[in-house]
Amino acid sequence: MRSLDILRYTTSSIVGYRARSLLLLFAMAIGVASVILLTSLGEGARRYVTGEFSALGTHLLIILPGRSETTGGAPPLLGETPRDLNLDDALSLERIRQIRRIAPIAVGSAPVSWQGRERESMVLGTTADFLALRQLRMAQGRFLPAMDPHRSAPICILGSRVRKELFGSQSALGQWLRIGDRRFRVVGTLGSEGRSIGVDLQDVVIVPVASAQALFDTPSLFRILAEARTAADIPTAKAAVARAIRDRHEGEDDVTVITQDAVIATFNRIFRALTLTVAGIAAISLAVAGILIMNVMLVAVSQRTAEIGLLKALGATQHRILLLFLTEAGLLSLAGATIGLGLGSGAAWMVGEFYPALPMTPPSWAVFAALGTALSIGLVFGVLPARRAAALDPVIALAGR
């Protein structure tokens, strides 16, 4: 039997048993498409978060009070009482050669009011370098001026949402507003893009660090941000920071230095786990599709026992009959998997169109796994029953039992 004839014969049966073929294509396509779409979502979320962290700033080190044994994650809630970080700790880091700039951060929450409008807002005390370090953009006015960090000044910068809620369409620049029991003059407003981990910069009011410490009546800092000069400097910078703080804290290692890479790596791990979970769900849907494929194939082949018997009576060998059914199952599976691939990628693309921030591309391992599983299920369950039928005595097969 020639290969062209095998193809012609199998296409005739694919077209001839239209309902069976369509069902099979459908099951296969759904299975493959769901794996591709779900893993695309997981992978997209992972890449989105990683991207967000990279946008935080480059070569960033975060210094937290308190000792954490793990890299990344939140500082410990319990345990020994750590020594607080203070402004002089922060300023001492400026002398480290590998550090380009630092920004101390003091944070608290206070009511912010202007002409009878009031809202509770996060107040963030920092220095002029914060703007460059976080790669923020001013919408109007200017940021904190470079000045002695120990000096307080009655000036503030508003996050875009705070500005909108207090001032509406009016200009905020130059206005005096009240934060807690002090008065501040608005010197600038932030652009609307500043959003990342934990703190939404659209919702903060930024004041000089000394002013924030006075406002909340505390000498301690929430954390210190530092920027290394180059990526290669990060490990040395990290060690130098730890050493500098230890020297100032009587030899105790009571701060945690997190590098941005470590944070990204942690989130990467979390999201890889998430993607795997999603892939597990997808694998279940693929398995369900596989069982459907299996059933359709079983029914289809048992319906055709008589045909197999006839082929045997006409002189077809067992091997040839198997080849016919293998080709048929292969063609159907391949077509179904291709349709599924198209559907899945199409759906992923559509989601990407609606949420451009999500980079929706299916991971290649998921594509291979989906196609491989679908194809092998299709082949195995197309061929197993055919093998059984082909091994029957022609007489019994002809009777269609």
Partner 1 sequence: MICLRSACRDYLMGTQTVHALDGVDLDVEAGEYVAITGPSGSGKSTLLHIIGLLDRLSQGSYELDGDDVTHLSDDELALVRCETIGFVFQFFHLVPRLSAAANVELPLILGGIAAGEREERVQAVLQSFGLADRADHRPDQLSGGQRQRVAIARAMVTKPAILLADEPTGNLDRSSGKEVIHILETLNSDGLTLLVVTHDPELSARANRRLHIVDGAITKDERGAG
Binding positions for partner 1, rule: CB under 8 A: 1-2, 4-5, 9, 12-13, 15-17, 306-307, 309-320, 393-395, 398
Q: Which is nearer to partner 1, 65 or 309 (CB)?
A: 309
For partner 1, the closer CB: 238 or 312: 312
Q: Which of 305, 104, 125 is nearest to 213 (CA)?
A: 125
Smallest gap from Cβ 296 to partner 1, in A, equals: 17
CB 347 within 8 A of CB 290: no
Q: Would you give the DSSP letter of residue 145?
A: P
Decide whether 10 or 127 has the Cβ nearer to partner 1: 10
Closer to partner 1 by Cβ: residue 278 or 389: 389
Minimum distance of partner 1 from residue 3's CB (angstroms): 11
Residues 307, 395 contacting (CB under 8 angstroms): no
- Enter the tokens of residue 237: 């910078």
282 versus 383: smaller Cβ distance to partner 1: 383
**Phi, psi for 387 (deg, rounded to 5):** -65, -40
Give dist(CA 279, CA 373) in Å, integer.
Answer: 13
Minimum CB separation from partner 1 for residue 1, in Å?
A: 5
Which pairing describes strands 138-141 and 155-158: parallel, antiparallel, or unpaired? Answer: unpaired
Tokens of 28: 């296969």
Helix ranges restricted to H, 127-228: 130-133, 160-167, 209-215
- Closest to partner 1 by CB, 251 vs 315, is 315
Q: Considering the complex, what minimum distance in angstroms separates the CB of residue 305 from partner 1?
A: 12
For the bound state, the minimum distance from the C-beta of residue 294 to partner 1, rounded and expressed in Å, comes to 23
Which are the contacts of 191, defined by CB distance < 8 A and separation ≥ 6? 136, 137, 138, 139, 160
- For residue 396, the minimal CB distance to partner 1 (Å) is 9
